[in-house]
Amino acid sequence: MNYFILKYSLIPTYMEERGKYREEHLKLAKDYADRGLLVLGGALADPTDEAILVFKTESEKEVAEFARQDPYVQNGLIAKSEIRQWNVVIGNCFEQ
């Protein structure tokens, strides 16, 4: 298994707009978490201009599919997204 980071650059009005799509977004995230694919996720604070989601999966295809289905992406709350493989070296919350 590999780790991937999905990084979202958020639009300036993200905090005001997200409520409309939050339930759908969290439902999708929970589905991926329940399947063991999404490990962590959340927006950065002060300023809330980016969000990071960490996935554990065989390939980035599943990460790209998450982004494609994400209501935040579909409704323009995400200005830009990027998927990067993450080579985890150490951490007691990750199995190697």
Q: What is the pLDDT of residue 96?
A: 44
Number of domains in the chain: 1
**Residue 93 in domain:** no
Residue 96 falls inside a structural domain: no
Question: For residue 81, is it within any domain?
Answer: yes
Note whether 6 and 55 are within 8 A (CB).
yes
pLDDT at 53: 98
Amino acid at 49: D
Per-residue model confidence (pLDDT) at position 95:
54
CATH number of the domain where residue 31 is located: 3.30.70.1060
Assess contact for 74 and 17: CB atoms under 8 A.
no
List the domain range (segments joined by +) for residue 64: 2-86
Q: Is residue 92 part of a domain?
A: no
pLDDT (tens place) for every residue of the chain, 96 residues total = 899 999 999 999 999 999 999 999 999 999 999 999 999 999 999 999 999 999 999 999 999 999 999 999 999 999 999 999 999 888 766 554
